[in-house]
Structure 1
Amino acid sequence: MNAQAATFDPSRVAHLTGRFAPVTEEVDEAALQVVGEIPADLDGSYVRNGPNPRFTPIGSYLYPIDGDGMLHSVRVSQGSAGYRNRFVRTPSLRAEERAGHALWGGVESLVTPGPEEVGPDLANTFRDMPDINVVRHAGRLLALAESGCPFLMSPELETLRKETFGGRLPAGITAHPKIDPVTGEMAVFCYALEPPFLTWSLIGPDGTVRRGPTPVAGADRPVMIHDMALTERYLVLVLAPAFFDIEAAMSGGAFIAWRPEEGTRVVLIPRDGGPVRWAHDDAFWLWHTVNAYDNAPDGDVVLEYVQWPSLTLGPAPLDAGSGTYKGLTRAVIDPVAGTLRRTQLDDRRIELPRIDDRMTGRPHRRSAVAADSGRTAGLLSGEYDALRWYDHRGSETASQTWNAGDLSVGEPVFAPAPGPDGGDSDGGYWMTFATDRTDGTSWFLIIPDQDPASGPVARVRIPVRVPLGLHGAWLPAEDDGATG
């Protein structure tokens, strides 16, 4: 064990305590307490993934990157709800369970076990961390890592295997693929520490890889990219100046270096395989995109996202002195001129934006975010006490807010009401997990899209605390099926 591992004190890491503290108990509860009334037309499951170390971390812990994955599922049908949670049992987690303690350190510590602890296959390897997001595509439920192979999960949340898509994507994908609601195609990307540093791929609606890993021309350094956006024509990737520095990490320095003098680049990758287009601007960081779409007839691409002045990891930005604005932002990208025009739509501290997924790649009416109301002192990075909705139909972006009181809320996910397809209608519900700051109890909230500021129509009591963060998905029951 290296010196950093020996001196690391997990009790001093805020994101391992309080409302972020991991839970270790796996629970099945068929009938949950409901305050209010669950809409009778809701039939499906809300599933959320997030960092949840099974054992006390060693070496380092960097929220939200580090941790084991744990899926939390609320099954809703006929006005009632049940709950189940399960760890994503990767080979490294199974080895730690056999040992009874952590064997791998966090990403900043580079602590790995030797063959005498885990055998030759896992020795001196980095652990799998599918702890960021969860999606269902082509009948497969996937727990997703920051950059690596996802893990295939059963409908009952049991871990089946590492998913390499028939060996076509052996390096994996990142945590935020995008599914085209019209074609059913899933667009993915992957970044790496060695060439090729950035690749993209397309997976058909049947789950087969239509385009294998394709290097992105002009991506010549290892850079962190958390999310992407998709239009009818392009994959949209934002390359902020957050560069991986292995040499610095091995000598006790930072694994990720923020270099604002190099600015931020946006690359448009044609889905038909044509030449990529680049645009360049002053440095800014984004964790999450809202959506993107082609702005006909002028050929521009509109990208909406949550902007930060610099890379935010843990309790504070790496460069808190940057003057670049934050909040909900709209960028218009000219693929011919290579220019980028940004407009701030809201300057509040917000994150975890979502839309009705049926509008991915097309102009959307409404988006929702977790928000800081400004009423609550002591909120950590990644913690929010309100939900906020934006209406994008007029010339000005209108907003409305539900203040969650003593609850810290998570990402709002949209569940369409059953009926004719079309997307972006007023028929549906927003849902999220929330934890009470006064007693640590967790709730599942269901909020009507027609009047979200009125708050939940149903609050479902979860039998265990659900740690705050990160990403979830609504899985309608009619789409339930065998996992391939």
Structure 2
Amino acid sequence: MSQPNGTAPSLWLEGHRAPVPDEIDAVGLPVEGTLPPELTGRYFRNGPNPLPGTPSAHWFTGPGMVHGVRLRDGRAEWYRNRWVRTTEFTDGARFVRPDGTFDHAAVPANTHVVPHAGRILALVETGLPYELTPELDTVGPCDFGGLLKGGMTAHPKEDPVTGELLFFGYGLVPPYLTYHRLSAGGRLVESREVEVPGPTMMHDFAVTANHVVWLDLPVVFDMALARRGGGMPFRWDDAYGARLGVMPRAGGPVRWFDVDPCYVFHVGNAYEDEAGRVVVDGVRYRPEDFIAFWPSIGGESDPSAATVANAPVRAAATGSSRLHRWTLDPASGAAKEEPLDDRPVEFPTHDDARTGHAHRYLYTAAADAIVKHDLRSGSSAALELGPDLVPGEAVFVAAEGARTEDEGWLLSIVTDRAGQGSELLVLDAADLSRTASVRLPRRVPAGFHGSWIPDPVS
């Protein structure tokens, strides 16, 4: 299959990424092994899924579809999948209106799905979240009582101490970056503009107990690409520079730290160490890796604007990201960088109870493995799935009354690379051993992010 512009294979529409044609329901799913009875709730996973006959021009732009598995008392009760019925999906509404203003409800809602304050929200960074029911019906767009005027990142952070949900939105026109805070009860209580030089694709951010960390990196909005339409109007730009910003959560100026040029889609976690430095762990693309990766999912690069795109450097590119650490010292203004692992990985996760606080473990997905990184010892372990299987993001679920950081399970949807079938894999996070596998009634396309949503405590 070719891209809609006919220039290259559409790899995001083939094999394990290929969209499914419809919505189905299934009950009484077969289970191998033993599902822990305390895993009673729902695992929801979001990702793009174009309608039949309407291929997307970029992997990131297809309409969102959420896949759900209901677990209860050691059983896998049901599977179902539903498109998120945004106004873009149901009515063909356009994000940019004829008068040039933005319709923030006209989005694909295809990147993440998270619970907060009794709501389940399907997210994409360009627009409003969409509320879903526990059965995956679409309630509608959520603007928190009219207070949210722009987009909401697909990577909000829930503070494990206060219960607040911290998030941001980026804009293609000023304001380019806005910080927001929801109360534990789901009320928008703060919105604050943050000054940055221009519109960049800021996919994620980090929080610590006292700070927010911004990723102001050189993948920029390009109006010429936007006018051409079809894909994602962002490209690498050497001239923009790369920096991380540390902003007090209580208010105050951002302290910016220049870093080596890179791009980061996903942060693992961040915290303040005993010396007051801000430590940020994430998966990092070198310039040559981003430039190699971006066209493979429908993006465009401008070699004339990227000095790293010359042949000798590009020959060393892998198109992959690796786990990396930045240590930012507000006292000295110095930024230290160091690789944490040399294996290509993505989708870092951790125990959400440690968001913003020191962590020992991160979990990532490699091409054919689920990896556990011990950041204290500097070692890693992996469950190798073999070349025919592709794991999705591994979501950590802590065991009830957990006494150690890795006491719990990892949930990951694993799909056959040829696109023939999928399973929900449940691993013991301590040693990556297989606890159970739920055979799903259909193939689930490789997607993006998901959440475990436990049943309310009665």
TM-score (norm 1): 0.83
Find the aligned partners of 1:17 and 1:450 in 2 and give their Cα distance: 34
Q: Name the residue aligned to 2:152.
A: 173
Matched, 1:87 2:83: yes
Q: Name the residue aligned to 1:287.
A: 265
CA RMSD of aligned residues (A): 2.9
Matched, 1:35 2:32: yes
Q: Residues 79 and 223 of structure 1: is their aligned pair in 2 closer, same or farther, counting only changes over 3 Å?
A: same
Find the aligned partners of 2:172 and 2:209 in 1 and give their Cα distance: 30
Q: Residues 442 and 209 of structure 1: is their aligned pair in 2 closer, same or farther, counting only changes over 3 Å?
A: same
Asked if 2 retains the 8 angstrom alpha-carbon contact of 1:10 and 1:16, the reply is no
Q: Match for 1:71 among 43, 66, 74?
A: 66
Matched, 1:387 2:367: no
Q: Amino acid of the residue matched to residue 399 of structure 1? A: S
Q: Name the residue aligned to 1:132.
A: 111
Find the aligned partners of 2:426 and 2:105 in 1 and give their Cα distance: 38
Q: Match for 2:335 among 309, 332, 340?
A: 340
Q: Match for 1:47 among 41, 44, 53?
A: 44
Superimposed CA distance per residue, residues 98-122 of structure 1 (whole angstroms, 9 cap, x where no aligned partner): xxxxx87xx9xx9x8x8xxxxx999
Q: Match for 1:187 among 166, 174, 188?
A: 166
Q: Amino acid of the residue matched to residue 416 of structure 1? A: A
Measured after TM superposition, the shift of residue 338 of structure 1 is: 3.2
Asked if 2 retains the 8 angstrom alpha-carbon contact of 1:15 and 1:314, the reply is no
Find the aligned partners of 1:438 and 1:251 in 2 and give their Cα distance: 33
Q: Residues 468 and 326 of structure 1: is their aligned pair in 2 closer, same or farther, counting only changes over 3 Å?
A: closer
Q: Residues 10 and 186 of structure 1: is their aligned pair in 2 closer, same or farther, counting only changes over 3 Å?
A: farther
Find the aligned partners of 2:133 and 2:240 in 1 and give their Cα distance: 44
Q: Name the residue aligned to 1:233.
A: 210
Q: Which segment drifts farther, 250-259 or 302-311?
A: 250-259
Find the aligned partners of 1:141 and 1:479 in 2 and give their Cα distance: 17
Q: Residues 16 and 79 of structure 1: is their aligned pair in 2 closer, same or farther, counting only changes over 3 Å?
A: same
Q: Which segment drifts farther, 157-166 or 19-28?
A: 19-28
Find the aligned partners of 2:102 and 2:162 in 1 and give their Cα distance: 42
Asked if 2 retains the 8 angstrom alpha-carbon contact of 1:280 and 1:338, the reply is no
Asked if 1 retains the 8 angstrom alpha-carbon contact of 2:345 and 2:364, the reply is yes
Q: Match for 1:208 among 187, 191, 199?
A: 187
Written as runs of structure 1 = structure 2, the 5 A alignment for 1:463-474 is: 463-474=441-452
Q: Amino acid of the residue matched to residue 442 of structure 1? A: S
Q: Which segment drifts farther, 260-269 or 318-327?
A: 318-327
Superimposed CA distance per residue, residues 181-227 of structure 1 (whole angstroms, 9 cap, x where no aligned partner): 11101111111011111110111100011102x1113x021111111
Measured after TM superposition, the shift of residue 156 of structure 1 is: 1.0
Q: Match for 1:411 among 389, 393, 400?
A: 393
Q: Amino acid of the residue matched to residue 174 of structure 1? A: T
Measured after TM superposition, the shift of residue 463 of structure 1 is: 0.6
Q: Name the residue aligned to 2:249.
A: 271
Asked if 1 retains the 8 angstrom alpha-carbon contact of 2:18 and 2:419, the reply is no
Find the aligned partners of 1:262 and 1:121 in 2 and give their Cα distance: 26
TM-score (norm 2): 0.88
Measured after TM superposition, the shift of residue 265 of structure 1 is: 1.0
Q: Amino acid of the residue matched to residue 347 of structure 1? A: D
Find the aligned partners of 1:199 and 1:121 in 2 and give their Cα distance: 21
Written as runs of structure 1 = structure 2, the 5 A alignment for 1:358-373 is: 358-371=353-366
Q: Name the residue aligned to 1:100.
A: none
Q: Secondary structure at the match of 1:92?
A: helix
Q: Name the residue aligned to 2:305.
A: none
**Share of identical aligned residues, percent?**
38
Find the aligned partners of 1:228 and 1:434 in 2 and give their Cα distance: 27
Q: Secondary structure at the match of 1:315?
A: helix
Asked if 1 retains the 8 angstrom alpha-carbon contact of 2:205 and 2:215, the reply is yes
Superimposed CA distance per residue, residues 371-425 of structure 1 (whole angstroms, 9 cap, x where no aligned partner): 1xxxxxxxxxxxx21111011233xx111011112211100001111236x7x53
Find the aligned partners of 1:201 and 1:254 in 2 and give their Cα distance: 25
Q: Amino acid of the residue matched to residue 262 of structure 2? A: F
Q: Secondary structure at the match of 1:411?
A: coil
Q: Name the residue aligned to 2:281.
A: 304
Asked if 1 retains the 8 angstrom alpha-carbon contact of 2:104 and 2:151, the reply is no
Superimposed CA distance per residue, residues 141-167 of structure 1 (whole angstroms, 9 cap, x where no aligned partner): 000012210101111111001010111
Measured after TM superposition, the shift of residue 369 of structure 1 is: 0.3
Q: Secondary structure at the match of 2:88?
A: helix
Q: Amino acid of the residue matched to residue 265 of structure 1? A: R
Measured after TM superposition, the shift of residue 170 of structure 1 is: 1.9
Superimposed CA distance per residue, residues 72-114 of structure 1 (whole angstroms, 9 cap, x where no aligned partner): 1111111110212111001121125xxxxxx87xx9xx9x8x8
Q: Which segment drifts farther, 24-33 or 125-134?
A: 125-134
Q: Residues 7 and 389 of structure 1: is their aligned pair in 2 closer, same or farther, counting only changes over 3 Å?
A: closer
| Alignment gaps of 5+ in structure 1 | 1-5, 97-102, 115-119, 372-383
Q: Residues 391 and 463 of structure 1: is their aligned pair in 2 closer, same or farther, counting only changes over 3 Å?
A: same
Q: Amino acid of the residue matched to residue 68 of structure 1? A: P
Matched, 1:250 2:227: yes
Q: Name the residue aligned to 2:175.
A: 196
Find the aligned partners of 2:418 and 2:91 in 1 and give their Cα distance: 36
Find the aligned partners of 2:442 and 2:146 in 1 and give their Cα distance: 38
Q: Residues 61 and 10 of structure 1: is their aligned pair in 2 closer, same or farther, counting only changes over 3 Å?
A: farther
Q: Name the residue aligned to 2:421.
A: 441
Q: Which segment drifts farther, 35-44 or 143-152?
A: 35-44
Measured after TM superposition, the shift of residue 457 of structure 1 is: 1.9
Q: Amino acid of the residue matched to residue 72 of structure 2? A: S
Q: Secondary structure at the match of 2:456?
A: helix
Structure 1 residue ranges, 4+ long, deviating more than 4 angstroms after superposition? 120-126, 251-254, 316-320, 322-326
Asked if 2 retains the 8 angstrom alpha-carbon contact of 1:202 and 1:211, the reply is yes
Q: Residues 439 and 195 of structure 1: is their aligned pair in 2 closer, same or farther, counting only changes over 3 Å?
A: closer
- How many residues matched? 436
Measured after TM superposition, the shift of residue 20 of structure 1 is: 0.6
Q: Match for 2:53 among 52, 56, 77?
A: 56
Measured after TM superposition, the shift of residue 251 of structure 1 is: 5.5
Measured after TM superposition, the shift of residue 437 of structure 1 is: 2.7
